[in-house]
Amino acid sequence: MTASDLVVSVPTDQLAADLQPLPAGVELVVWPMDAPAPRDRFDMVVPPYMSMAKVLARLEGVEVGLVQGQSIGYDGVAGLLPDGLRFANAASVHETSTAELAVGLTIAAQRRIDAFAVDTAAGRWAPVFADSLADRRVLVLGWGGVGTAVAARLAGFEVEITAVASRARVEDGVTVHGVDELPSLLPDAEIVIVTLPGGDATRGLVDDTFLAALPDGALVVNVGRGPVIDTDALVEHVRRGRIRAALDVTDPEPLPADHPLWGLPGVLIAPHVGGASSAMRPRVARLVKRQIERMLAGEQPLNVVLGG
């Protein structure tokens, strides 16, 4: 090691192996962040996946050039990150997998695949006449990386897509509506796919008023963050047979064993696995390698969302 080495901490031996080969002058340190920092300085630290809330305090007093998260979402990180540190999210890593799951949940709910899975386990032959995905009016709420990836995968299903984001604009030829237009858009939406991030700006956006504006039988799919939906309002609308739901994220999360969403007819739940697929490992490694290459070249890192 020399004074000019770039020192990078990764949480697992697997990620260290996935990063090989690395350019000369890069030192990898495997640090799961389950103990005090083994160094007083790192050029980059990659915390473990899905457990940043428990470990970021270990960076207190450590000199760190960049904290590179492994998730797209970063709500709550600002309150946990020691002062003065920069944080980058994992944009480019999870969009594809999350979009796959969003479309999968939509098809499963529309074509009753969840019910067929139960019938399979019970040895029961029970045909149904189901709702198609084809010809449906789909409102994608959130027009960032995941939202646009969802729309790209829906393109072959012969649906009518309405894009909604925080502000109205035309992006890559697509007319994107602002959230202030939702009252006029929701009555026509047969399927709403939520891809919004968490935080105060989106908390409770899908509330009783939002759900009441949807037509009877509408499907709400959430692959963004659980608190975007008012859970009590959703439960009430589903219980009345007004709305169906397919959720990869919930509020609270994980759901307690006695939560009313469990076993509620018309609800399909996945346990926050949007990014948890075989696509993740190579894409995380690709992003970390790009950050290392940019640091070696004296360039600014990608995806800096805090402390930039």
Catalytic positions, written as ranges: 225, 253, 272
**10 Å Cβ neighbour count for 108?**
19
Is beta strand 169-171 parallel, antiparallel or unpaired with respect to 174-178?
Answer: antiparallel
**Cβ proximity of 135 and 154 under 8 Å:** no
**Cβ proximity of 41 and 270 under 8 Å:** no
| Cα separation, 160 vs 136, whole angstroms | 6
Q: How big is the CA angle at 239 (ends 251 and 112), to the nearest 5 degrees? A: 85
Residue 254 CB contacts under 8 Å (≥ 6 apart), including other chains: 271, 272
User: What are the angstrom distances between the C-alpha of 6 and each of 60, 85, 114, 249?
Assistant: 20, 17, 49, 37
Strand partners, 29: 9
| Cα separation, 208 vs 206, whole angstroms | 7
| Cα separation, 76 vs 87, whole angstroms | 12
**Cβ proximity of 207 and 152 under 8 Å:** no
Please report where in the chains the tokens 């646009």 appear, as a residue: 148
Burial status of residue 11 (CB atoms within 10 A of its CB: 0-12, 13-18, 19 or more): buried
Range 117-152 burial, b when 16+ CB lie within 10 A, else e: eeeeeeeeeeeeeebebeebbbbbbbbbbbbbbbbe
| Cα separation, 109 vs 151, whole angstroms | 18
